[in-house]
Amino acid sequence: MTAAWVLHIDLDQFLAAVEVLRHPELKGLPVVIGGDGDPTKRGVVSTASYEARELGVHSGQPLRTAAKRAPDAIFLPVDKDTYEEVSERVMATLRTIEGSVVEVLGWDEAFMGITTDDPEAVAREIARRVKERTELDCSVGIGQNKLQAKIATGFGKPAGVYRITNDTWYPLLGDRPTEALWGIGSKTAKKLANLGFHTVRELAAADPKVVAAELGPTTGPFMVLLARGRGSAEVTDSPWIARSRSRETTYQNNLTEWSEVRAEILRLAALVSEDVRAEQRPAVRVVVKIRYAPFITKTHGEALDEPTAEPATIAAAALTALDWFTERRPVRLLGVRAEFPEVEEDR
């Protein structure tokens, strides 16, 4: 029976796979990509090959920690230009599927909307074309909405195809922890556990008002809908519009004087202001991010009185947000983010 389906295409270990194509001698070895490729410096892992993941390396992990877990791994710098070029070829390949709509999510993933009576056949054709034209493997998740398709991809990895539907949702995910859901991280899972909701099925049966009391009037009911396998099925090929612009710096030596921190916040705010001006959209909120040593991250934001791109106003808001940080511990990373107002295209 012909029906509308959402497909989620995710390139397997994308950055590492691109590097292996360029350096075939790395095939089968633990490869870690991040920063400038020097694991003795501060930085985080962007991607790790499956061989490195088996040793405990994962995205977002400090490079130094990765080096301890995988001392024999090959560390490589991030090569943004190359990854973007390969990504564009992949997305162009997806657009060759007749009758599909492609919504790009990033370098290595996209949603596709398609009407067919055999979504698995379409998924296999997608994987074949991507492999033929780029030599890269991808996994394809199939669902009745984006949530189902995104989660299905994880079951299909590596280089596989998997389908999740309303009928298979609870048999497959009902007894899994809430953290198995796309959009629920460890912190939210702990809050849900404190309310007595440990599994997807328990959260799905929850009173949205109870969850809202803990997580907020919008987030709470949304979490319950996630657990019920509900989500948007709309796939759009409208150009992606940035919701914010940010700059951040990881310091090889901790900042120990707060005067240094303030000076760096002003420097980053000036760079963000340039980005906002280039975007030709005003900012409505400024957020400051601090990562204390050894690796504790906190953020505070300041809403602007009115939308603006004025550097002085953005800098002042950044300093106001900084004043919310009361701890004066050594700092290893600072960031400033300017957020844009929501527009219809963002939704």
How far apart, in whole angstroms, are the C-alpha atoms of residue 48 and residue 157? Answer: 15
CB 107 within 8 A of CB 128: no
Joined together, the tokens standing for residue 51 give 């061989």
- CA–CA dist 266, 272 (Å, integer): 10
CB neighbour list of residue 138: distance below 8 Å, 6 or more residues apart: 9, 10, 11, 12, 90, 126, 127, 130, 131, 159
Kind and range of the H or E run holding 334: strand 331-339
Q: How far is CA 103 from CA 7, 94, 100, 109, 214, in A?
A: 10, 10, 10, 9, 33
- Which tokens belong to 176? 């899994």
Residue 109 among the catalytic residues: yes
3-state secondary structure of 147: helix
Q: Which of 19, 51, 103, 109 is catalytic?
A: 109
CB atoms within 10 A of CB 12: 19
Please give the DSSP secondary-structure letter assigned to residue 158.
S
Token pair listed for 81? 């230009």
* Separation of alpha carbons 343 and 347, rounded Å: 7
What is the residue whose two structure tokens read 């034209």?
Answer: 133
Q: Are 266 and 315 in contact (CB under 8 A)?
A: yes
Alpha helices in 95-241, H assignment, sequence order? 119-134, 146-156, 166-173, 186-194, 200-204, 208-215, 219-227
Catalytic positions, written as ranges: 109
